[in-house]
């Protein structure tokens, strides 16, 4: 199996090169409105944002920022297939503008807009992020009416376009191959996730000192939960390229859109640094499953009822019998003959086998790609 991965450097407020209803899943984390590090980005797209902040009109700036994001969600609705999903990692913001400190509820504003477009809200995930210490707080300490609750979680909003996805023909087999483990379902579909974020620093060559990158585990889970192998995953705020790397690991195709072309080298580094992790993360899934099987056998005094036909190990349910775990055999940096303002990769996948476990082969300089999408 081969998958293709492309990141185009332009604004995501218009996606004319992506055909209507061709994307299976969107996984993204946009710039957070009313977080100061993103002020300049919103201000470059709408100068009224900077004017509102300078005039100490926090709610006005908040609304203007979200109107920029609104255009992206509208494009996502256009390109997502019926039954496809939109998953948005977003945090709320607290900020003092002038003398007024308040909460800006980004997750609720995005939810209202996406539902108005026609997306259906599904249960959300709270991503519990580790705090710096138990004494972290905002405000005036122990005096009533002057301290504020800390924000120690972010949201993963989940939307579906229309009714459930319908599977026919080859899609049915791909769906069975794309199954996840029973014990993974119990963790992934909990409404609370607890894992560390990514280092936010960028190199001195990048256009800003910090990124808003989410950890590899977040898109890795969502891609497995809401798409099939060989599906197309879109990230309209590609950032440092984490969603693309997770799509590579999961055997999906991907497209990313990133407004900041200066991040091209950072994205290329992300792919190189995460390439060994792609195989390792799938190996961790297998090891965790073997541990679960042994624990079940020890505690229940009996084996699991079913056996996986691809990997030849016990599984809990019949839905896992055709589960197939792909790993990355090679990653090739492609030269796009149609355009120069993109990063393009082709990934070759193989079925996981313990005896063939190895670091994927990489070729960052060769290969030609004839890709004519006009973005």
* Comparison of pLDDT for 131 and 6, the residue scoring more: 6
Asked if residues 202 and 266 have their Cβ atoms less than 8 Å apart, the reply is yes
Q: How far apart are CA 156 and CA 125, in angstroms?
A: 5
Specify the range with the lowest mean pLDDT, choosing from 86-90, 121-125, 275-279, 299-303: 275-279
Residue with tokens 């939810």: 111
pLDDT at residue 362, as a whole number: 64
209 pLDDT more than 50: no
pLDDT-above-70 percentage for the chain: 85
pLDDT at residue 144, as a whole number: 81
Domains and CATH numbers, the chain: 2-272 (3.40.50.150), 291-369 (no CATH)
Count Cβ atoms within 10 A of the Cβ of residue 113 and give its class: 0-12 exposed, 13-18 middle, 19 or more buried: middle
Q: What is the pLDDT of residues 147-198, one digit of tens each?
A: 788 888 999 999 999 999 999 999 999 999 999 999 999 999 999 999 875 4
For the chain, give the secondary structure using H, E and C.
Answer: CEEEEEEEECCCCCCCCCCCCCEEEEEECCCCCCCHHHHHHHHHHCCHHHHHHHCCCHHHHHHHHHHHHHHHHHHHHHHEEEEEEEEEEECCEEEEECCEEEEECHHHHHHHHHHHHCEEEEEEEEEECCCCCCCCCEECCCCCCCEECCCCEEEEEEEEECCCCCCCCHHHHHHHHCCCCHHHHHHHCCCEEECCCCCCECCCCCCCCECCCCCCHHHHHHHHHHCCCCCEEEECCCCCCHHHHHHHHHCCEEEEEECCHHHHHHHHHHHHHHHHHHHHHHHHHHHHHHHHHHHHHHHHCCCCCEECCCCCCEECCHHHCCCCCEEEEEEEECEECCCCCEEEEEEEEEECCHHHCCCCEEECCCCEECCCCCC
Q: Kindly report the pTM of this predicted structure.
A: 0.90
Q: How far apart are CA 204 and CA 265, in angstroms?
A: 12
């Amino acid at each position: 199996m081969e998958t293709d991965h492309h990141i185009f450097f332009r604004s995501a407020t218009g996606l004319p090169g992506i055909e209507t209803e061709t994307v299976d899943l969107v996984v993204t984390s946009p710039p957070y409105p009313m977080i100061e590090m993103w002020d300049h980005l919103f201000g470059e797209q709408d100068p009224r944002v900077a004017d509102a902040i300078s005039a100490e009109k926090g709610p006005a700036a908040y609304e203007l920022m979200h109107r920029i994001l609104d255009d992206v969600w509208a494009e996502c609705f256009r390109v997502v297939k019926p039954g496809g999903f939109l998953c948005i990692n977003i945090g709320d913001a607290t900020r003092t503008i002038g003398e007024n400190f308040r909460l800006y509820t980004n997750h609720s504003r995005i939810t209202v807009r996406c539902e108005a477009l026609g997306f259906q809200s599904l249960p959300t995930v709270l991503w519990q992020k580790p705090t710096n210490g138990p004494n972290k707080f905002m405000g005036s300490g122990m005096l009533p009416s002057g301290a504020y609750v800390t924000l120690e979680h972010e949201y993963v909003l989940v939307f579906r376009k229309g009714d459930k996805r319908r599977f026919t023909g080859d899609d049915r087999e791909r769906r069975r191959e794309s199954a996840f483990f029973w014990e993974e379902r119990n963790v992934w579909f909990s409404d609370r996730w607890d894992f560390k974020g990514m280092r936010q620093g960028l190199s001195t060559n990048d256009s800003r000192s910090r990124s808003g990158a989410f950890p590899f585990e977040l898109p890795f889970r969502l891609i497995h939960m809401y798409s099939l192998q060989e599906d197309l995953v879109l990230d309209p705020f590609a950032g440092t390229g984490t969603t693309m790397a997770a799509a590579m690991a999961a055997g999906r195709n991907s497209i990313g859109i990133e407004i900041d072309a200066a991040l091209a080298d950072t994205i290329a580094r992300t792919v190189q640094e995460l390439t060994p992790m792609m195989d390792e993360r799938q190996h961790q899934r297998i090891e965790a499953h073997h541990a679960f099987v042994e624990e079940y056998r020890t505690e229940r005094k009996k084996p699991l009822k079913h056996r996986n036909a691809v990997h030849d190990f016990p599984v809990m349910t019949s839905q896992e019998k055709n589960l197939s775990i792909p790993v990355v055999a090679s990653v090739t940096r492609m030269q796009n003959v149609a355009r120069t303002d993109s990063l393009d990769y082709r990934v070759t996948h193989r079925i996981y086998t313990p005896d063939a476990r190895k670091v994927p082969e990489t070729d960052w300089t060769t290969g030609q790609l004839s890709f004519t999408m006009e973005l």
